């Protein structure tokens, strides 16, 4: 079994292999059922693990000798935060990886999602809702964009992919650790929670009745809003779009067939940021929307 070190000292003992019980147990976290059963997920790579150590609860850090030599400060920070540091072979680290070129560093963290009410907090101004997004890369990128735009939270409704999926975590580039995430299979419960928090529901819809760039949209965009984004192929589910206060379209001015989800989410979220700043020009640069 892999050894543990309390601080940044050299890791003693032989490295764990792909058959080591702790590695075998961690490998189950590559599947959603394993994550939900254990209440934990895997974070791969130095950048994501560094954000996890800073902003989440890291239970264990699997690391190869070369990776430990490349990132001694990360190993030390994880140990100081109470994580078990487990030396493993390259093969064991690869068995925990979903990337073509494993970095030899994988953290085991507690799941991040919180109840809807906790994610929304009091009087949120900007929230992103993922409704029926199946692709983990898209979900992770929406989380990253929401983080960049200063959103209060990201809510995942209905059959949206698990944000703890490895591809989603990587696509978020650490943003999963920066803002509250909440999941609920009941789409209506998510929409009701947003309304109860005072948010206007805006569904991003290529055929929406409200043009994002219409001056009439500014008062809507400048208020407290929850932007709803759907899957790449089919958009926001009809049952969700029907309950939105407005269906907002991003105008296509050239000959492109459409915008991809991540681009549309960025345009929409930053449109709200811009409208709010036009309404309150005294807001300092870099302030939260």
User: Is residue 289 in a domain?
Assistant: no
In this structure, the answer to whether residues 100 and 122 fall within a common structural domain is no
* Residue 147 sits in the same domain as residue 51: no
Q: Which residues pair with 128 in a beta bridge?
A: 154, 227
Domain-terminating residue out of 61, 90, 110? 110
The Cα–Cα gap between 206 and 128 comes to 17
| CA distances in angstroms from 222 to 55, 126, 195, listed in the order given | 30, 10, 16
Asked if residue 193 lies in contact with residue 117, where contact means CB atoms within 8 angstroms, the answer is: yes
Nearest to 145 by CA among 55, 46, 244, 227: 227
pLDDT digits (tens, 9 = 90+) for 7-47: 344 466 789 999 999 999 999 999 999 999 999 999 999 99
The answer to whether the CB of 210 falls within 8 A of the CB of 271 is: no
Which pLDDT score is estimated for 156?
98
If we measure between CA atoms, which residue out of 135, 134, 172 comes closest to residue 44?
172
Q: Which helix (H) or strand (E) holds 63?
A: strand 58-63
**Cβ count within 10 A of residue 98:** 14
CATH of the domain at 78: 3.30.1330.30
Answer yes or no: do 95 and 209 share one domain. Answer: no
Let me know whether 158 and 258 are in one domain. Answer: yes
User: Would you say how long the chain is, in residues?
Assistant: 289
**What's 129's domain CATH number?**
3.40.1280.10
Statement: the pTM of the whole predicted model exceeds 0.85: yes
Residues 26 and 156 in one domain: no
The H or E element spanning position 1 is none
Q: Count of domains in the chain?
A: 2
> What is the per-residue pLDDT for 278?
87
Residues 129 and 86 in one domain: no
In a domain, 87, yes or no: yes
Statement to judge: residues 105 and 179 lie in one domain: no
Query: Would 131 be classed as within a structural domain?
Result: yes
100 shares its domain with 125:
no
Q: Is the same domain home to 165 and 261?
A: yes
Please tell me whether residues 58 and 191 are part of one structural domain.
Answer: no
Number of neighbours of residue 280 by Cβ within 10 angstroms = 11
Same domain for 91 and 201?
Answer: no
181-210 pLDDT, tens digit per residue, is 999 999 999 999 999 999 999 999 999 999
Range(s) of the domain holding residue 96? 21-110
In the chain, which stretches have pLDDT less than 70? 1-12, 281-289
**Measured distance CA(126)–CA(159) in Å, rounded:** 22
Question: For residue 7, what pLDDT is reported?
Answer: 39
């Amino acid at each position: 079994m892999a050894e543990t070190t309390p601080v940044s000292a050299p890791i003693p003992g032989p490295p764990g292999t792909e058959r080591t019980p702790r590695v075998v147990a961690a490998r189950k976290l590559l599947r959603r059922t394993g994550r939900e059963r254990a209440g934990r997920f895997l974070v791969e790579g130095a950048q994501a693990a560094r954000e996890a150590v800073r902003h989440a609860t890291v239970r264990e850090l699997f690391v190869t000798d070369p990776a430990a030599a490349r990132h001694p400060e990360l190993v030390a920070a994880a140990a100081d935060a109470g994580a078990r540091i487990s030396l493993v072979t390259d093969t064991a680290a690869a068995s925990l990886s979903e990337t073509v070129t494993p970095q030899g560093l994988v953290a085991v963290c507690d799941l991040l999602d919180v109840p809807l009410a906790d994610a929304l907090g009091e009087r949120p101004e900007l929230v992103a809702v993922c409704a029926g997004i199946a692709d983990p890369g898209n979900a992770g990128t929406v989380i990253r964009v929401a983080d960049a735009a200063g959103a209060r939270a990201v809510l995942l409704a209905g059959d949206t992919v698990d944000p703890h999926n490895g591809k989603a975590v990587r696509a978020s580039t650490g943003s999963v650790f920066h803002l509250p995430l909440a999941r609920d299979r009941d789409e209506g419960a998510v929409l009701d929670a947003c309304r109860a928090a005072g948010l206007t529901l805006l569904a991003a819809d290529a055929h929406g009745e409200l043009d994002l760039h219409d001056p009439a949209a500014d008062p809507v965009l400048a208020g407290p809003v929850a932007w709803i984004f759907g899957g790449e192929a089919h958009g926001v589910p009809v049952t969700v779009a029907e309950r939105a206060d407005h269906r907002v379209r991003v105008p296509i001015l050239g000959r492109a067939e459409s915008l991809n989800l991540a681009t549309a989410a960025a345009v929409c979220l930053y449109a709200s940021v811009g409208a709010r700043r036009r309404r309150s020009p005294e807001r300092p640069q870099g302030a939260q929307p």
